[in-house]
Amino acid sequence: MSLAAAAAATATVAHAATTAAGATVAHTATTAAGATTTAADTHGFLSPTGVEIAFLLVGLVTLGAAIVSVTTRQLVHAALWLVVALGGLAVEYLLLTAEFIAWVQVLIYVGSVVVLLLFGLMLTRAPIGRSPDADSGNRWVALTVAVASAAALVWVVVDAFRTTWIDLDGAAAGSTEVTGKALFQNWVLPFEALSVLLLAALVGAIVLSRKAKANPPAVVTSAANEPADNETPASGTAASGPAASGTADPEKEGAR
């Protein structure tokens, strides 16, 4: 009795396992066959399509602008070449059919981050012309590290994704509708947390920018007026601090 039940149970388990294994094998075989035919039929290994040629050309421009941006000795030109690099990346996003990311890239990076960087260069009184000390003394070590990392990354990436193609036909994978649905159906909680983070960053940036010349005038006034009270001169300095750098703060916060 119990033997028969055990045998039946074993048979059931074996049947289930066979079914699962068969389904898995069939699914894998189908997927592999589909991938292989896709790779073999519609793509040659080194026969670039028009999108790939466009991607390559824009990528060359982007990479060149990035290299000039990290090697030029004129600081403002570095920020302007960064605009070219980031704009080129926006075009690359468009070629990858990620439209929404492309326009966000144009708005945020080219529109605000580079402007903020230019304001930073202005407010730290960066020299307009060539500054001979833009690069530090360890640039050859830095070049070695960068070339080594580039070689390692390119080798690994090319070796890993040699037979992988992106299917760009059909509907766009990153249109505003698709991105909006994904963002507000699946990623709402991180989105809201991000708004809190942006608020914290805004408050932090304002607090950091308001503090102007805190210590030396505070010491002087406290020594001159009231040596016993330390809090009042500090707040007085904080009130008079933005007046000293009054040209700096409104521009910066206006840019933000």
Partner 1 sequence: MHLAYPAVLSALLFSTGLYGVLARRNAILVLMSVELMLNAVNLNLVAFDVWLSRAAEETLHSGQALTLFTIAIAAAEIGIGLAIVLAVYRNRGTSDIDKLRDTAEGHETDGRGTDGSDSEAPAAQKAEATA
Q: Which position among 22, 204, 246, 250 is part of the footprint of partner 1 (CB under 8 A)?
A: 204
Whether 221 and 233 have beta carbons less than 8 Å apart is answered as yes
Q: Which position among 77, 84, 103, 123 is part of the footprint of partner 1 (CB under 8 A)?
A: 123
3-state class (DSSP) for residue 65: helix
Binding of partner 1 at residue 197 (CB under 8 A)?
yes
Distance in angstroms (rounded) separating the CA atoms of residues 152 and 147: 9
**Closest to 221 (Cα-Cα) out of 241, 244, 237, 201:** 237
Whether 205 and 256 have beta carbons less than 8 Å apart is answered as yes
CA distances from 245 to 171, 208, 209, 226 (A): 53, 13, 10, 25
3-state class (DSSP) for residue 163: coil
Q: How many residues bind partner 1 (CB under 8 A)?
A: 109
3-state class (DSSP) for residue 222: helix
Taking CB under 8 A as the rule, which mask of x and - marks residues 4-33 in contact with partner 1? ------------------------------
Q: Which position among 6, 12, 19, 161 is part of the footprint of partner 1 (CB under 8 A)?
A: 161
In the region spanning residues 220 to 249, those forming contacts with partner 1, defined by CB under 8 A, are 231, 234-235, 237-238, 241, 245, 248
In the region spanning residues 60 to 99, those forming contacts with partner 1, defined by CB under 8 A, are 62-63, 66-67, 69-70, 75, 78-79, 82, 85-86, 89, 92-93, 95-98
Binding of partner 1 at residue 216 (CB under 8 A)?
yes
In the region spanning residues 176 to 195, those forming contacts with partner 1, defined by CB under 8 A, are 178-179, 182-183, 186-187, 190-191, 194
Binding of partner 1 at residue 124 (CB under 8 A)?
yes
Closest to partner 1 by CB, 8 vs 143, is 143
Strand (E) or helix (H) holding 43: none
Distance in angstroms (rounded) separating the CA atoms of residues 113 and 207: 19
